[in-house]
């Protein structure tokens, strides 16, 4: 699906401020586990979901299978709506479907 950018200091607070900024493997793994639990809580029907997190860059990578394009996109949005996440590389595989159209909201919309 691609790489999506988010506001790093906004969203669900799933882990502490120091953990989000750390680049230690243990803290990154804990943050990835928290993000995975957050995405799983959305009940999107994902199979084999794997989540990695890099605290230095704020990037989350999602892998696995989604039952639909909509579920894959919602998973990416859920992962991006976490404090400390700046980018989501959504590699979820979904059945072929037309991708959603995105619109940047600007002043006056």
pLDDT, one tens digit per residue, over 18-71 is 544 444 788 889 999 999 999 999 999 999 999 999 988 999 999 999 999 999
Does residue 103 surpass a pLDDT of 70?
A: yes
Return d(Cα 38, Cα 96) in angstroms, integer: 26
Whether the CB-CB separation of 80 and 11 falls below 8 Å is answered with yes
77-89: average pLDDT:
91
Within 12-98, where are the H helices? 17-21, 25-40, 69-80
Kindly tell me the burial class for residue 84, based on how many C-beta atoms sit within 10 Å of its own C-beta (0-12, 13-18, 19 or more): buried
Residue carrying structure tokens 């989540």:
51
Taking the CB of residue 3, how many other CB atoms lie within 10 A of it?
Answer: 12
Pairing of β 59-65 and β 87-93: parallel
The helix/strand/coil state of 55 is coil
Return d(Cα 62, Cα 92) in angstroms, integer: 6
């Amino acid at each position: 699906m691609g790489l999506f950018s988010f506001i790093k200091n906004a969203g669900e607070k799933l882990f502490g401020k120091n953990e989000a900024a750390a680049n230690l493997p243990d803290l990154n793994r804990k943050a990835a586990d928290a993000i995975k639990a957050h995405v799983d809580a959305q009940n999107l029907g994902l199979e084999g979901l794997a989540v990695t997190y890099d605290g230095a860059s704020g990037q989350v990578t999602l892998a696995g299978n989604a039952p639909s394009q909509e579920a894959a996109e919602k998973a990416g949005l859920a992962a991006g709506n976490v404090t400390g996440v700046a980018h989501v590389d959504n590699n979820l595989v979904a059945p072929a479907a037309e991708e959603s159209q995105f619109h940047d909201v600007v002043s006056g919309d």
